[in-house]
A and B are shown apart, each in its own frame.
Chain A
């Protein structure tokens, strides 16, 4: 593979590339999905290919192929150069990527139990046992559980002299119970919704979440929601659990701080951002208890790696400090545009895609409350748990979220179950109303394995470290 990288780099530079990088990516993934008593999805996929990214006369080109031959390396590199030359035809500024990044290194995800080595029968038996426990609960019509694990080997080489090998391992799992009665459907998920929770760990990740032991509770909550009262409409105090808050951070902070969006290059698809460059260092994003970071070095986080796909080392960057907006997620090109160095947020979903600015682990730093003390300190409000729906405008201001489960809070105690809970707001006002964040004991790095961005679309795997937090004066119950 090193020969192929060297060959493609040589060809690209000989053909006129001022900068070139080559990534060889080999991915192996297995997925098991059990619906009710049946293993409906049992798949093993592998993919191998390489991509060549070049700058020619200040314009970008990229080509990728799955044929791993020297001749194809030449053809693909030459095609990337030809594409870059075509890019010049629409004019515009010439790309500048700042000072060279030269690293010769390797990185491997630490793990305890290789998920590929765990017996397939044991994995299937775990999911069948989990579903059996869910299906025993009256009212539950669908039980679904899944595990997913992937190993990605990457070799990155650049014309600046970098050569970086990485082997990243991810493991994820999730269960869902769906309960149905006349005119209503309610769902509960665990550990997180929209499929699964995931981390850069081994099978120990699945063991930690005890799917079978949690199944009955999850199913009972789905069934109980059918009879729950609907979410009242009004303005109140809310406490969000960590997983819902993870998605809130993802949508309203993570995407909003991606500098490519800010500079307009995602405008037609993912959108732009209200966090324009004039706001850096002066804009009050949230209350003083709000501290947000991007940290690709957290052990086990789904956005954890050694180097990004431009060969920049993983690092920790403050985004919001004591409520003040102080940082962006950057690439080499966008960082140079605002006089900074890249903080290593460029990732591609595979050999056939260019890296884009993606969240690493974007986190709400913990504070000092326990959840019990926070609820006890809340006179009147709603506690919301586990995302059900999410939507936000293209500048990341107006959002609306729904959660699977909610409970009334009355006089400092959790009360009745509430279904179809929704809340809505405007990002800086909402974070400005945050008056309490729970402590590190409640802090979990939630994995979001389904973040879409870019054209052609790429699905990224991001992490969000959060603990529950409280927000005042929030509009809830936005559904007729």
Chain B
């Protein structure tokens, strides 16, 4: 169904041969993706798409143009190559541009699972039906989505790069609702590993326990953040601080602080796209192999991620973190890890005299990007902790909290980690116990 490696290579070879630019890069995405969506305990949206996108980066001297299409016959492919060159010709010279990257050995990673690629609408419906049945049996309603996809990416350039990767992806989430609410999600390359009943059970348990919440005055509380919440912290560190663009432009909390302590010494964060513990990706969207980058080690700022352009500005090699050409955010980490600790959730609970259990965050946004102050809500299970145990569900709270400050006050780190879809890539994170989290408001439910 999806074009295979040979077909994608044929397309990129044809396009490279059509180009008269000094350097040319071709980026191809092919996908067959299906998503079954449910709410009020039945399937209300059920969709599938098949498509291929191709984009061309043409370089003339130090001038660059990018054009894209999803039409794969000769004429539109030739037109898109010419359009990229035409745009480049109208560009201004960018003295900071060095060159497209040259070829390096790229590791092959097996991330494709046949049963995910062949997962049918009936297969997805069966898992969803199990979740909806569990909801009905528990007297709650289920909502959520189950996606399976088969994806291929290929990057080729006129300097000799051809990199190809194919992967499958299955992710599912559910929110259970009654008087309270509960949430659970899973992410795997293997759709067959998705256990709808276990997912439903986790969310139903939280939903039933969060019924009849009490009001709690906003203020400073120690918090236990489930791994679902921790991943949001990593998302904002990555988005606002770990890329070379904000770092070079003095907009990152890492700017000018490499070698300095930026968070607590019990916190280490890195990016590793080759790890089997993530959704692996052997190369970036310029075809440069992914390298592990230590971002923060024992609380000390160590480095940021680069693509060839921003690396070139500092005379450094790319770390393999380019986004597709044409995007202007600069390089971004895409496979983050926050180092696990030794605590269990029960240890965290037992050690909390008075605090708040946060299941997950919702609608978080930066209030002050440099200081990494973020506001957002709690959602789907917020609980009061007193004398080492959960004593009551509470109505959702708004927080306005510096994420760096929070990572400077991490008292305990969970020993288990969860793989989560992030804003840009994925992250693997543990639960955290954090002292003195600032809740700035409350809502009515």
Task: Tell me whether A and B are bound partners.
Answer: yes
Would A268 and B441 be within 8 Å (CB), given that A38-B96, A44-B83, A400-B398 are in contact?
no
CB < 8 Å: which of A33, A183, A263, A398 contacts B328?
A33
A276 to B442, CA, bound (A): 20
A48 to B80, CA, bound (A): 14
Report chain A residues within 8 Å CB of B175. 267-268
Does B28 sit within 8 A of A, measured CB to CB?
A: no
Would A62 and B46 be within 8 Å (CB), given that A90-B41, A391-B365 are in contact?
yes
- Write the chain B residue with the least CB distance to A456: B35
A479 to B326, CA, bound (A): 35
A184 touches B370 (CB 8 A): yes
State the total of A-B contacts with C-beta under 8 angstroms.
277
CB < 8 Å: which of B41, B94, B129, B144 contacts A39?
B94
Report chain A residues within 8 Å CB of B94. 38-40
A51 to B327, CA, bound (A): 27
- Write the chain B residue with the least CB distance to A270: B363
Does A64 sit within 8 A of B, measured CB to CB?
A: yes
A46 touches B45 (CB 8 A): no
A343 to B221, CA, bound (A): 46
A90 to B76, CA, bound (A): 43
Report chain A residues within 8 Å CB of B440. 400, 424, 478
CB 8 Å contact bits of B172-193 with A (1 = contact, 0 = none): 0111010000000000000000
Report chain B residues within 8 Å CB of A426. 443-444
A269 to B50, CA, bound (A): 23
Does A66 sit within 8 A of B, measured CB to CB?
A: yes
- Write the chain B residue with the least CB distance to A475: B441
CB of A477 to closest CB in B, whole Å: 10
Within 8 A of B (CB), among A245-297: 263-269, 271, 274
Report chain A residues within 8 Å CB of B33. 456
Report chain A residues within 8 Å CB of B243. none
A289 to B90, CA, bound (A): 51
Q: Which of B108-116, B120-128, B300-308, B347-355 contacts A (4 or more CB under 8 A)?
A: B120-128
CB 8 Å contact bits of A355-370 with B (1 = contact, 0 = none): 0000000000000000
A185 to B66, CA, bound (A): 31
CB 8 Å contact bits of A82-111 with B (1 = contact, 0 = none): 111111111111000000000000000000
Does A354 sit within 8 A of B, measured CB to CB?
A: yes
- Write the chain B residue with the least CB distance to A80: B48
A91 to B41, CA, bound (A): 8
A462 to B294, CA, bound (A): 41
B38 touches A178 (CB 8 A): no
A178 touches B251 (CB 8 A): yes
CB of B368 to closest CB in A, whole Å: 6
Does A149 sit within 8 A of B, measured CB to CB?
A: no
A420 to B177, CA, bound (A): 36
A86 touches B51 (CB 8 A): no
Does A300 sit within 8 A of B, measured CB to CB?
A: no
Does A397 sit within 8 A of B, measured CB to CB?
A: yes
Q: Which of A120-128, A155-163, A316-324, A371-379 contacts B (4 or more CB under 8 A)?
A: A120-128
CB of A152 to closest CB in B, whole Å: 14
CB of B61 to closest CB in A, whole Å: 13
A185 to B251, CA, bound (A): 7
A64 touches B376 (CB 8 A): no
A211 to B145, CA, bound (A): 43
B441 touches A42 (CB 8 A): no
Would A62 and B328 be within 8 Å (CB), given that A42-B91, A180-B250, A478-B400 are in contact?
no
Does B206 sit within 8 A of A, measured CB to CB?
A: no
CB < 8 Å: which of B46, B83, B249 contacts A86?
B46
Within 8 A of B (CB), among A35-66: 35, 37-49, 51, 59-66
Interface size on A, residues (CB 8 A): 87
CB of B267 to closest CB in A, whole Å: 21
Does A342 sit within 8 A of B, measured CB to CB?
A: no
- Write the chain A residue with the least CB distance to B42: A92
CB < 8 Å: which of B47, B88, B177 contacts A267?
B177
Would A86 and B120 be within 8 Å (CB), given that A60-B45, A269-B145, A354-B47 are in contact?
yes
Would A63 and B48 be within 8 Å (CB), given that A44-B67, A392-B363 are in contact?
yes
Does B69 sit within 8 A of A, measured CB to CB?
A: yes
CB 8 Å contact bits of B352-376 with A (1 = contact, 0 = none): 0000000000111111111101011
B132 touches A91 (CB 8 A): yes
A30 to B257, CA, bound (A): 38
Does A389 sit within 8 A of B, measured CB to CB?
A: yes
CB < 8 Å: which of B39, B42, B50, B438 contacts A268?
B39
CB of B421 to closest CB in A, whole Å: 11
Does A304 sit within 8 A of B, measured CB to CB?
A: no
B132 touches A90 (CB 8 A): yes
A31 to B66, CA, bound (A): 10
Report chain B residues within 8 Å CB of A92. 40-44, 132
Would A397 and B91 be within 8 Å (CB), given that A66-B50, A92-B40, A178-B249 are in contact?
no
- Write the chain A residue with the least CB distance to B144: A268
B122 touches A267 (CB 8 A): no
Report chain B residues within 8 Å CB of A480. 373, 400, 402, 438
A91 to B44, CA, bound (A): 10
Within 8 A of B (CB), among A5-35: 31, 33, 35
Does B258 sit within 8 A of A, measured CB to CB?
A: no
Would A89 and B122 be within 8 Å (CB), given that A60-B45, A141-B249 are in contact?
yes
Would A479 and B373 be within 8 Å (CB), given that A86-B124, A92-B44 are in contact?
yes
CB 8 Å contact bits of A391-423 with B (1 = contact, 0 = none): 111110110101000000000000000001010
A87 to B68, CA, bound (A): 35
CB < 8 Å: which of A63, A89, A124, A478 contacts B125?
A89
CB < 8 Å: which of B71, B125, B373, B376 contacts A66?
B71
B47 touches A90 (CB 8 A): no
A274 to B126, CA, bound (A): 32
A391 touches B67 (CB 8 A): no
Would A66 and B52 be within 8 Å (CB), given that A42-B91, A455-B147 are in contact?
yes
Report chain A residues within 8 Å CB of B396. 393, 398
A46 touches B132 (CB 8 A): no
Report chain A residues within 8 Å CB of B51. 49, 64-66, 352
CB < 8 Å: which of B64, B69, B375 contacts A391?
B375
A455 touches B49 (CB 8 A): no
A41 touches B326 (CB 8 A): yes
CB < 8 Å: which of A87, A120, A128, A268 contacts B43?
A87
A42 touches B64 (CB 8 A): yes
- Write the chain B residue with the least CB distance to A34: B92
Does B428 sit within 8 A of A, measured CB to CB?
A: no
A354 to B49, CA, bound (A): 11
Within 8 A of A (CB), among B385-412: 396, 398, 400, 402
Report chain A residues within 8 Å CB of B49. 51, 63-65, 352
A64 touches B375 (CB 8 A): no
B70 touches A46 (CB 8 A): yes
A215 to B235, CA, bound (A): 32
CB of B306 to closest CB in A, whole Å: 16
Interface centre among A42, A120, A144, A456 (most CB of B within 10 A): A42
Does B16 sit within 8 A of A, measured CB to CB?
A: no
A393 to B328, CA, bound (A): 30
Report chain A residues within 8 Å CB of B438. 480
B40 touches A265 (CB 8 A): yes
A63 touches B47 (CB 8 A): yes
A64 touches B50 (CB 8 A): yes
Q: Supply 18 A–B pairs (Cβ within 8 Å), ascending by A.
A: A43-B65, A44-B67, A45-B68, A46-B70, A92-B41, A141-B249, A178-B249, A266-B39, A268-B39, A269-B145, A352-B51, A390-B365, A391-B364, A393-B377, A398-B442, A398-B444, A400-B440, A478-B441
Sorted nearest first, the 4 A-B pairs with minimum C-beta distance are: A92-B42, A86-B121, A398-B443, A268-B143
Given contacts A83-B47, A86-B121, A128-B92, 14 further A-B contacts (CB under 8 A): A35-B328, A42-B87, A83-B34, A86-B36, A87-B43, A87-B121, A91-B42, A92-B40, A185-B251, A265-B143, A394-B377, A394-B379, A397-B443, A426-B444
